[in-house]
Each structure stands twice: as C-alpha cells, then as structure tokens.
Amino acid sequence: MRAPAGLHLDYLSAAEYQSAHWADVLGVAAFSGPPAPAPGAGEIPVAEVNTPVLLGTANVYEVWRSGQPAESGRRNRVRFRRSENLLFGCIALAESEVAPAAPAAAPASPSALHAATEEAYREICATLDALGYPHLLRVWNYLPDINRDTDGMERYRQFNRARAHALSASGRAVHGRVPAASALGAASGSPLVVYFLAGRSAPAFIENPRQMSAYRYPRQYGSHSPVFSRATLLRQRDSLTLFISGTASIVGHRSIHVGDTAAQTRETLTNIAALLEEANRVERSARFSLGSLACKVYVRRPADLPTIRAELAATLEAGSRVIYLQADICRQDLLVEIEATGMCPLKTDA
C-alpha cells in the first residue's frame, strides 16, 4: 500500500500494531502499558503513557508516519526518529532521578517535578538544536498527580513555571510563536513523559477568538502562564496538518458549565469548531471540518463516558476516529478535554 502523502496519524489496536509497516513511522505513543515487541519496529521511539484506555481494547497505539523513510537515534535521554523534514521525540524522567538544585539567588530548592520538567525541556531543546529541527510543532505532557499540591503549589503550576524557565533559558519563545500542546495527569508514581513533533519549517500559529491566549492568562492561574498556542498549522508540499491543543470548556480564560459534563463537552466542541474556522481563514486552501478530525478525549470521571460519547456522536460524523482515555485535567473544575488532529490534502499541479 502506498504511504499517505505528508504527516499521517493512525490509532491502532494491538493486532494492527503487530502487523504494521514501519519504514515511514516516526514514533508511537502507547497507552495503558508498553507494547509487545512488533516485527520490524526496531528502534522506533515509544512514549509509554500511563493513562488507561476507557473504551474497547485495553491497548491503543498512536502511530505517527511521515510518508518518507526515517532513521532512529538517541541524544542523552531523548529518543527520536526523523525524516527529511520532521522529527518525533520522547523523554521520560522519574522525579526521583533528578536531584533539584537551588539557584544561587534562591533560598529554597525547586520541587522534584520542577527539576524534572526543566531537565526534560532543556534536553528536548538541545536535541532539536543539535539535529537542525528548530521548530516545535506539537508537544504532549503527562505528569502524575497534576492537581495535587506539593511543595506549597499545585503540580500543574510547578510544571508551567519549570517549562517556561527551560524554554527561556534555551532561547525559545514563551508566548506567541509557541507549539500546540496538552498537559494531562498520569497515574501516581508514573514518570514525567513528554513526546513531541518538530520540523525544519515553522508552522502557522492559530488562536481561538472565543478564548484568551493561554500564554496571556492572568496571574490567578499561576505565576507563569501555560506555554502553548491553541493550534498550529503545518504546511507540507502535499498536505496540511492542524494540531489542536488540549481544549476544554473555557471561554475567555474562565471555566464554564462547572459540574455539567454534557454542557462542558458541547462547549469544548464549539471551541474546536471555532479553531477550525480560524485555521480555514488563515490558510485559504484548507477545508478542515469536525468530521475529518482524529480526536483524543480525556475523561476525568469514567462514569461520565456515556454522556461524553453521546455528545460527540451528535456532533461528529459516523466513523470519526476517537479514542477515550482516563486522565485528570489541568483544572480541577474541568471534566473533559479534547485534543484533535486534522489532515487535509493539497492539490498539486500535474
């Protein structure tokens, strides 16, 4: 079978994973445990994320393909695989592995999570600089106990502070031209897991007219705002790829429909629809639609799954690619978060 043009995303079952073709695969994210060795998978990097799958098979694999031959490598703790213009990478760091060290001017050491986050992002940035893929396109972050307070601060806020410090120290932007991203909870005792896609060319950065840009959030959400764009849009020769960040029931900067799972899901889909409209406006040749998206849905309370599925079924087209994972979300009043990827072919001259 001919490989699809440009970047491509598949969600595979365990059986499909075992029979997959690997030549153009950039990387894999595995949920609910590591995958069994697959014939031909070799040194392809696998991000092992501890967020249980809620529906269907116990194992789902997120597989990113470039449509081109790819080669694997490792730099320090970052495992990567790259094609001519794209790179997938991942890193896992247990907080116990990283001894926090206090800056000279600081009276107290940063937390273990802060130290692990800074170290992970410094290694990621150094890898991209060394290999010549300077543009982060999309980043996924999974940290254990995301809503718990430790060291006098919620762990998600610790993560945001450390990410901003590491990016700034590496000479990267912390607002404006920043990647699409998600940050979700993982099971207690899990390592910090970060996986990412990067490229040689910069994407377009898309914001939602219904929402304040996350990197401009007021200080009530923490001393350092989250560093992500609402979406990024990658243009390749034959295709467009839209990376939609983790999206929830937020209008402006406030959570709305608190306690109402169905209403939060509808508001989340409205926000995603607004991003699609904005992406189609920015890139006139784009024709992104809700029905064409691959969606990853994070559910805080597994008992809410039927309600969330019903709302998605009423909006998405039959046959839409959707996986459901149990995970805590960055704000304790949010019950559902949806991230999505859209891919649109470009017409080329014969």
Query: Which member of 48, 118, 278, 337 is catalytic?
Result: 337
Predicted confidence at residue 197, as pLDDT, reads: 98
pLDDT mean over 105-120:
83
Distance, in Å, from the CA atom of 181 to the CA atom of 246, rounded to the nearest integer, reads 7
> What is the separation of C-alpha 327 from the centre of its chain, rounded to a whole number of angstroms?
13
Q: How far is CA 169 from CA 156, 162, 198, in A?
A: 20, 11, 19
**Neighbouring C-beta atoms of residue 284, cutoff 10 Å:** 7
Angle subtended by helix axes 261-282 and 305-315, to nearest 10: 40
Q: Using pLDDT thresholds of 50, 70 and 90, give the confidence band for residue 36.
A: confident
Predicted confidence at residue 33, as pLDDT, reads: 76
Predicted confidence at residue 103, as pLDDT, reads: 53
- Above 70 in pLDDT, residue 348? no
Predicted confidence at residue 100, as pLDDT, reads: 60
- Above 90 in pLDDT, residue 32? no
pLDDT mean over 9-26:
90
Predicted confidence at residue 89, as pLDDT, reads: 98
> What mean pLDDT value characterizes the chain?
92
Q: Using pLDDT thresholds of 50, 70 and 90, give the confidence band for residue 3.
A: very low
Residues 213-227: pLDDT tens digits?
Answer: 999 999 999 999 999
- Above 90 in pLDDT, residue 271? yes
Q: State yes or no: is 97 an active-site residue.
A: no
Distance, in Å, from the CA atom of 270 to the CA atom of 155, rounded to the nearest integer, reads 29
Predicted confidence at residue 1, as pLDDT, reads: 34
Predicted confidence at residue 291, as pLDDT, reads: 87
Closest CA to 43 of 23, 60, 59: 23
Predicted confidence at residue 5, as pLDDT, reads: 61
Residues 176-195: pLDDT tens digits?
Answer: 999 999 999 999 999 999 99
Predicted confidence at residue 72, as pLDDT, reads: 96
Predicted confidence at residue 226, as pLDDT, reads: 97
Query: Tokens for 275?
Result: 């991003």
**Lowest pLDDT segment from 30-39, 176-185, 300-309:** 30-39
**Lowest pLDDT segment from 16-20, 53-57, 189-193, 298-302:** 53-57
Q: Using pLDDT thresholds of 50, 70 and 90, give the confidence band for residue 63.
A: very high
Q: Helix (H) and strand (E) counts for the chain?
A: 5, 20
HEC string of the chain equals CCCCCCCEEEEECHHHHHCCCCCCEEEEEEECCCCCCCCCCCCCCEEEECCCECCCCCCEEEEEECCCCCEEEEECCEEEEECCCEEEEEEEECHHHCCCCCCCCCCCCCCHHHHHHHHHHHHHHHHHHHHCCCEEEEEEEEEECCCCEECCEEHHHHHHHHHHHHHHHCCCCCCCCCCEEEEEEECCCCCEEEEEEEECCCCEEECCCCECCHHHCCHHHCCCCCCCECEEEEECCCEEEEEEEEECCEEECEECCCCCHHHHHHHHHHHHHHHHHHHHHHCCCCCCCHHHCEEEEEECCHHHHHHHHHHHHHHCCCCCEEEEEECCCCCCCCCEEEEEEEEEECCCCC
Distance, in Å, from the CA atom of 266 to the CA atom of 249, rounded to the nearest integer, reads 8
Highest averaged pLDDT of the listed ranges 93-97, 194-198, 312-316, 343-347: 194-198
Q: Using pLDDT thresholds of 50, 70 and 90, give the confidence band for residue 343.
A: very high
**Percent of the chain scoring above 70 in pLDDT:** 94
**Helices (H), ranges, the chain:** 14-18, 112-131, 155-169, 261-282, 305-315
- Strand 239-247 versus strand 321-326 pairing type: unpaired
> With contact defined as beta carbons under 8 Å apart, do 135 and 235 qualify?
no
Read off the pTM: 0.94
> With contact defined as beta carbons under 8 Å apart, do 29 and 46 qualify?
yes
What structural domains and CATH numbers belong to the chain?
8-345 (3.30.1330.40)
Predicted confidence at residue 173, as pLDDT, reads: 96
Q: Using pLDDT thresholds of 50, 70 and 90, give the confidence band for residue 44.
A: very high
pLDDT mean over 161-183:
97
Classify residue 288 as left (phi > 0), alpha (psi -120 to 50) or beta.
beta
Residues 71-109: pLDDT tens digits?
Answer: 999 999 999 999 999 999 999 999 998 866 555 445 457
> With contact defined as beta carbons under 8 Å apart, do 47 and 30 qualify?
yes
**Neighbouring C-beta atoms of residue 273, cutoff 10 Å:** 16
CA-derived radius of gyration, the chain: 19
Predicted confidence at residue 186, as pLDDT, reads: 96
- Above 80 in pLDDT, residue 57? no
**Lowest pLDDT segment from 43-47, 100-104, 106-110, 283-287:** 100-104
- Above 90 in pLDDT, residue 4? no
